[in-house]
Amino acid sequence: MKFTKKNDLYLLLVVILLVLVMIFMNAYPKKGINGAEVYLKREKILQITKEGTYSIKNDEGELLMNVEYIDQKVRVTDSSCPLKVCENTGWVENPNQPIICIPNEIIVKPLGTEDDTGIDIYTW
């Protein structure tokens, strides 16, 4: 007695193929950001949209940090804060992950479509 038909096997193969394609697409989400916004003491002072290195200075003209934006990633390359936590953050390519320098009161917020990574916060 035959329980399966040839068409049933084709349907099963199509369903398995669709599931594999969906898993592959979700496993490799598009990464990258469209730029960044820099806030100093809760005020937006800079919007970064072009690649390059940007210097962030306070009202007295003292250099607080350098922010680098290349290949849809952003990082802090130099900072005047004592612990350099913002420098140790490294490259950020996720719009859900801001770079925060508490002593200098600076926030570098990556811009882009927020993806649902399931990660709420990063700590070091």
Sequence-distant (≥ 6) Cβ neighbours of residue 102 within 8 angstroms: 81, 85
CATH number for position 53:
2.60.320.10
* Digit-coded pLDDT (tens) for 74-124: 999 999 999 999 999 999 988 888 999 999 999 999 998 765 555 556 565
The answer to whether position 22 is within a domain reads no
The answer to whether position 47 is within a domain reads yes
Residue in the structure block whose two tokens are 């719009």: 95
> Could you write out the DSSP letters of every residue in 9-70?
HHHHHHHHHHHHHHHHHHHS-----SEEEEEETTEEEEEE-SSEEEEEE-TT--EEEEEEEE
The answer to whether position 121 is within a domain reads no
* Digit-coded pLDDT (tens) for 17-32: 999 888 887 776 666 7
Output the pTM of the full model.
0.69
Query: Domain limits at 51?
Result: 35-111
The answer to whether position 29 is within a domain reads no
CA distance linking residue 30 with residue 70, whole number of Å: 16
As for how many domains the chain has, the answer is 1
pLDDT at site 1:
46
